[in-house]
Amino acid sequence: MPPRAGGSLDPGGPVAAEIAELWWILLCLGAGVFVLFMFVLIRGLLRRESEGVSDRSGLFLVVGGVIMPTILVAVVFAVTLIAMRAIPSSATSDPIVVEVTGHQWWWEISYPDLGIRTANELHIPVGREIELRLTSADVVHSFWVPALAGKLDLLPDRVNTLILQADLPGNYTGMCAEFCGLQHANMAIEAVAERQDSFERWVAQQGSAAAEPVAEMAVEGAEVFLSAGCADCHTIRGTPASGDRGPDLTHLASRGTLGSGVLDNNPESLRDWISDPQAHKEGIAMEDVGLTPNDLDALVAYLGTLE
C-alpha cells in the first residue's frame, strides 16, 4: 500500500474534507479582500494631490469601512457554522470505538470491543466511522491527524469524543498539537487506514496473546524481560508481565516505530533504544536498566518475536 502523506488540504475522509473546503473558501475571501484593498491603495497613491478629496469619499468610507466588512464577517460566520454543523459531534452509524489516552510522550490506543491495546498506531478500516474517546493520563495533549480530522484536546479526568473516517487507504501521520512538555515535538501518531479484510487480519493478530518464544535466545530474552524490571512498566499479554506505565508490548514487532516516531522499529534501533532511552528521548520515564550485552541481545531477540 503506498503511504499517503496526507495533510489538511489533502483530506483522506469526509470530516477533513469539510475542514479543507472551509479553508479554501476563507482563503478565496481573504485573497479577494487583499486584491481589492491593494487596488484601492495603489489607485490612491497614484492619484495626483491636486485632485483633492472627492465628494464621494463619505460614501466610499461607509461602503468600504462598514457595509463590506459587515457582509464579509457575516459570510465567514455563516460558512463556518455550516462546516461546524456538517462535522459530526457524535457517531451517526455503528462506529468502531477507540480509546486514546495521551501520555508524556506517547499514545495509548485501545479498542474496548475488540480486546486490543497498542501504542502510537491507530488502525482503522476505510469507509467506517471511528469514535475516538480522548483522555489524558497526565497533562493536556491534543490529537491531530490533519488528513482525517481537526484537532481535539485530551484532558485528564475528562473524555472528549472525536469522530473521523478515512475513505482512502493509506498511512496518515499526526502529531500532538498541544505543548505538553519537553518531548511534545516527539509525539507522533500514525493512523493506518486499511481495507476491511486487512483490518480484520490486524484485529485477529493484535487480539491474540503473545507468541511463546521458541528459539533459545528468545526464551532467554523472555526471562530477562521479567527479571530486569521491564515487566514493572510494560504488559505482554500471555506472560506475567502486566505493568501499565509504558506501552503494551504484546505485538511490539508489528509496529512501525519506537518511542512514538523517534526511531524506526528494527532490531538495531531497538537495541540502541533499550540501552540508552534517554539519549533518544530525554525526559521519558524509561531508564537504562543496565543490561549486559548478552542479556540485551537476548531481549532484542525476544521482542523481535512479538509480531
Report the 10 Å Cβ neighbour count for 222: 22
Q: How far is the CB of 256 from ligand CUA (least distance, A)?
A: 19
Q: How far is the CB of 136 from ligand CUA (least distance, A)?
A: 8
Q: Check: CB of residue 151 under 8 Å from CB of residue 143.
A: yes
Per rule CB under 6 A, is residue 18 in the interface with ligand CUA? no
Could you give the string, one character per residue 76-105, with x where binding to ligand CUA holds by CB under 6 A and - elsewhere? --------------------------x--x
Question: Partners of 171 in the beta sheet?
Answer: 192
**Which one among 96, 116, 122, 180 touches ligand CUA, defined by CB under 6 A?**
180
Out of 184, 255, 271, 280, the only residue in the binding site for ligand CUA (CB under 6 A) is 184
Number of shown-chain residues binding ligand CUA (CB under 6 A):
9
In angstroms, give the least distance from the CB of 199 to ligand CUA: 26
What are the strands, taking DSSP E only, across 165-304? 170-176, 188-194, 257-258, 263-264
Does residue 187 touch ligand CUA according to CB under 6 A? yes
Q: Which helix (H) or strand (E) holds 289?
A: none
Amino acid at 177: A
Match 469522530 to its residue by C-alpha cell.
163
> Contact 98/131 with Cβ under 8 angstroms?
yes
Shortest distance in whole angstroms from residue 52 CB to ligand CUA: 58
Does 190 participate in binding ligand CUA (rule CB under 6 A)? no
We find the least distance from the C-beta atom of residue 149 to ligand CUA, in angstroms, to be 17
In order of 106, 188, 237, 268, the CA distances from 160 in angstroms are: 18, 19, 28, 38
Q: With CA atoms as reference, report the closest residue to 122 among 147, 140, 104.
A: 147
Q: Does residue 192 interact with ligand CUA by CB under 6 A?
A: no
∠ Cα 215 220 222 (to 5°): 95
Output the smallest distance, CB 227 to ligand CUA, in A.
32
List residues binding ligand CUA (CB under 6 A). 102, 105, 141, 176, 178-180, 184, 187
